[in-house]
Structure 1
Amino acid sequence: MRPPVALSIAGTDPSGGAGIHADLKTFTALGVYGTTVITALVAQNTHGVSRVYGIDEDFVADQLAAVFDDLPVDAAKTGMLGTRGLVELISAELRTRRPGRLVVDPVMVAASGHRLLDADAVDAVRTELMPLADVITPNLPEAALLLGDDVPAARTPEQMRAQARELLARGARAVLLKGGHLDSGELVDILAQGTDSGPEFLEFTHPRKDTPHTHGTGCTLAAAVTAGLAAARRADPAEPLGEHLPGVVETALDYLGRAIASGADWELALDPEGSHGPVDHLVDIGIAGGRGTASTGTGNRPPEGAASTPSTAAPRAAEPAADQEASA
């Protein structure tokens, strides 16, 4: 017997809300054994990023070897990668070592405006990493940048569908496009999957939660999807991705909504002015103990080619104008 194993390839967050710290908490909360490969040491907190210290490519390669040579990775996720060299190295390693499933969270810019991915690395994400992904999880600005330097971010669910369709055409097997930047009364996330008959879309809607505490939400959602895929892969390695992905996404969105709601009134920062605090990753466990379980869920999938079915996920907070996701 062994638990599902998930790997996070990302940067650090000493304040504990984003990056590998958020990922490990999420993996634990959802009953998955977590492992990490650190790509950057990031000096950040709930107020923003002050400095990024890159990790040598050779040492990142050594970390990848340490994990893959010893442990069966049921699912992996990439977050902050930083440089073109690291994107190319990690893409080559994942192409060779291939985890059971791969989630790509294309982290690019922190809320403070600090770039977390070099400009010349974006093309490598498009051409080297994205085609390896089972799921990519961009927000609206990230999706636009993946499609081209001059592409505007989607402003409506219809535009989101069009951009998700184009991202599928660029090589991703599935796209979870996060709509937190939409100027609407509710949040909309769209899951697009490629099928033999064309793209299939599933729309999840959530009431907005009025809270500034959204630090690490992108990391947390991608980690929750990774945990669900790891659990599904461990349970049945032969099951096609499309059979369990909608349920995995629905469960991940519900977990994130409850984590945001639970941490919405936290007062962690010494100076609350301008602070974007973390979510409560242990909402299902509690500080005193207990355990949570990753679920592949059942989803609300429409027939192939159909429109979409609204989700009943818990309320979520809107993403800040520039994501407070930092080193996802």
Structure 2
Amino acid sequence: MQTPQVVTIAGSDSGGGAGIQADLKTFQARKVFGMSILVALTAQNTQGVQESLPIPCSFINAQFASLADDFQIQAAKTGMLFDQDHVQAVADNYRNFSFGPLIVDPVMVAKGGHPLLQKEAIQTIKTELVPQAYAITPNLPEAEVLTGSKIRNKEEISKAAATLQKMGARNVIIKGGHSDGKEATDFVLMEDKSSFQLSAPRIQTKNTHGTGDTFSSCITAELAKNSTFKEAVIIAKKFIQGAIEEGISVGSGHGPTNHWAKLSEEITVKEIVE
């Protein structure tokens, strides 16, 4: 029995709060062995992204082949994929190698507003990557871009999730961090068409850099340990809530979450009956 092994396919955050760095910290905290396939580099800190640089697609291919040649990867996730060519390279490689269930986190904009995905790549994500997704984890603005529709209430969230499932994603999580209200509520549509909500108290803090990366990488880690999808999502919600609750202070802008925090107990699970 080998140690559970996972890989993140994303961009590097030199400030350590998001991207590959947040994913690897999460993998370590959840006791799986984490690997990485770098798609892009960024020069960034808590104040924002100053520059970004794509990795040559040929080197992305080489990273996939290298890992496939030696490791038994049981789950994977994507993050920042930069542009159309890089999305295509990742999608093509994922068809060729068996890395287990794929969690697609469709990262589009950094916390400070810097674009992390070129607009022409959105269609490639929809047609090439989403159909390979075991689960997709957009926030509300990302879900609006992918579905081409406004999301203003619970009914529209449910409709958007169904649209993403029709695109090919087996499971859908639309995160509620960008919504208003005292609680941050995520909507989860599962492969069998059942759905539920995950809610947690909204914490007033600017230190939320990398929350989406951390959440999706925790799901990836739990799947590699043979958790069910629902179990993995609930643990991930507890993990990211704890990481925000037990905050740390670094930098002068949007700081990162705390990857060594304990799981939060402030999570409510509500089944949705149609």
- TM-score of the superposed pair, with normalisation by structure 1: 0.79
- Matched position secondary structure for 1:204: strand
* Residue of structure 2 aligned with 1:276, choices 254, 258, 266: 254
Residues 173-188 of structure 1: pairs in structure 2 closer than 5 A: 173-188=170-185
1:62 aligns with 2:62: yes
State the one-letter code of the partner of 1:281: H
Query: How big is the shift at 1:183?
Result: 1.6
1:261 aligns with 2:228: no
Residues 131-150 of structure 1: pairs in structure 2 closer than 5 A: 131-148=131-148
Query: How big is the shift at 1:300?
Result: 5.8
| Larger Rg computed on CA atoms | 1
State the one-letter code of the partner of 1:219: D
Find the aligned partners of 1:143 and 1:267 in 2 and give their Cα distance: 30
Cross-structure match for 1:193: 190
Find the aligned partners of 1:300 and 1:48 in 2 and give their Cα distance: 34
Query: How big is the shift at 1:166?
Result: 1.1
Cross-structure match for 1:231: 225
Cross-structure match for 1:318: none
Cross-structure match for 1:170: 167
Cross-structure match for 1:247: 231
- Matched position secondary structure for 1:69: helix
Is the 1:49–1:110 Cα contact (8 Å) retained in structure 2? yes
**Count of matched residue positions in the alignment of Structure 1 and Structure 2:** 270
Find the aligned partners of 2:110 and 2:269 in 1 and give their Cα distance: 33
1:202 aligns with 2:196: yes
Query: How big is the shift at 1:254?
Result: 0.2
Cross-structure match for 2:13: 13
Find the aligned partners of 1:191 and 1:68 in 2 and give their Cα distance: 31
- Matched position secondary structure for 2:226: helix
State the one-letter code of the partner of 1:54: P
Residues 43-122 of structure 1: pairs in structure 2 closer than 5 A: 43-122=43-122
Is the 1:246–1:301 Cα contact (8 Å) retained in structure 2? no
- Cα deviation, 1:95-146, whole Å, max 9, x if unaligned, reads 1213211100000111332211111110000000000000000000101111
Identical pairs, percent = 40
Is the 1:246–1:300 Cα contact (8 Å) retained in structure 2? no
1:306 aligns with 2:237: no
- Matched position secondary structure for 1:210: coil
* Residue of structure 2 aligned with 1:216, choices 191, 210, 221: 210
- Matched position secondary structure for 1:232: coil
Find the aligned partners of 1:301 and 1:70 in 2 and give their Cα distance: 42
Higher strand share: 2
Query: How big is the shift at 1:301?
Result: 7.9
Aligned CA RMSD, in angstroms, stands at 1.6
Find the aligned partners of 1:267 and 1:72 in 2 and give their Cα distance: 37
- Cα deviation, 1:191-248, whole Å, max 9, x if unaligned, reads 10132xxx21111111111111000000000000100111117xxxxxxxxxx11111
Find the aligned partners of 1:81 and 1:110 in 2 and give their Cα distance: 12
Query: How big is the shift at 1:277?
Result: 0.5
State the one-letter code of the partner of 2:40: A
Is the 2:43–2:50 Cα contact (8 Å) retained in structure 1? yes
- Cα deviation, 1:59-81, whole Å, max 9, x if unaligned, reads 11101111111111100000000
- Matched position secondary structure for 1:40: strand
Structure having greater relative contact order (Cα 8 Å, sep ≥ 6):
1
Find the aligned partners of 2:196 and 2:98 in 1 and give their Cα distance: 27
State the one-letter code of the partner of 2:236: A
Query: How big is the shift at 1:169?
Result: 1.0
State the one-letter code of the partner of 1:282: W
Cross-structure match for 1:314: none
Is the 1:13–1:42 Cα contact (8 Å) retained in structure 2? yes
- TM-score of the superposed pair, with normalisation by structure 2: 0.94
Structure 1, unpaired ranges of 5+: 234-243, 285-291, 293-298, 308-328
